[in-house]
A and B are shown apart, each in its own frame.
Chain A
Amino acid sequence: KNEVEQSPQNLTAQEGEFITINCSYSVGISALHWLQQHPGGGIVSLFMLSSGKKKHGRLIATINIQEKHSSLHITASHPRDSAVYICAVATDGGSQGNLIFGKGTKLSVKP
């Protein structure tokens, strides 16, 4: 079993829909990252969380430390949101870049 599991693997939505991507992990963490990877491969860091909730524009990320679960929400989705969304965790006692990555959720938003 992977230490970081994401669901769903693939997600197709219509423009304007509310999107939720889930991430569960089985290790102790110091932080959780949500990343966005575009088709060319480049990665953008969206959020780094250690507790609670963060919001940036149409993106919201939440984390429940007790349940070892995080969600990424996209409100009013748009075709430009189409990308792979990756959850990654920095383990307790590990360095900040020593990340364990989920396999990603491929999001496709149709106009």
Chain B
Amino acid sequence: GAVVSQHPSWVICKSGTSVKIECRSLDFQATTMFWYRQFPKQSLMLMATSNEGSKATYEQGVEKDKFLINHASLTLSTLTVTSAHPEDSSFYICSAHRADTQYFGPGTRLTVL
């Protein structure tokens, strides 16, 4: 079946640094990928829609200058958390849609010290 991978699976960084998270569709092309985050004991929330070859669409309340999204190829979208702060610590998950199924990546747990 279709697989979506994420890298890294976890990352710990110092406050003020930038962190890049990769989302890959391994056996299918995805013109659109989605980025979500999940704070502890809360629901997943859509952050942005990543569109191959064009600008991402951000949900209300998500700073586009802080969460940079690049979808340079049909199989790769990256999310860069710039100048990370402790409040950005969260579980970040990507997904891609194929046929009638939404495929989710395994997630990246970000801890900002």
Contact = CB atoms under 8 A, between A and B. Distances in A.
Interface of A: 2, 33, 35, 40-45, 48, 86, 88, 95-99, 101-104
A45 B32 contact: no
Given A41-B107, A43-B93, A96 B102 contact: yes
Given A98-B46, A102-B43, A45 B104 contact: yes
Contacts of A40: 106-107
A101 B101 contact: no
Interface of B: 32-34, 36, 38, 42-46, 49, 91, 93, 95-97, 100-104, 106-107, 109
A98 B49 contact: yes
A60 to B, nearest CB: 17
Contacts of A41: 38, 91, 93, 106-107, 109
Contact of B97 (A86, A88, A96): A96
Nearest to A90: B102
Contacts of A2: 43
Contacts of B32: 95-97
Contacts of B45: 101
A98 B44 contact: no
A42 B43 contact: no
B39 to A, nearest CB: 12
B103 A103 contact: no
Contacts of B103: 45
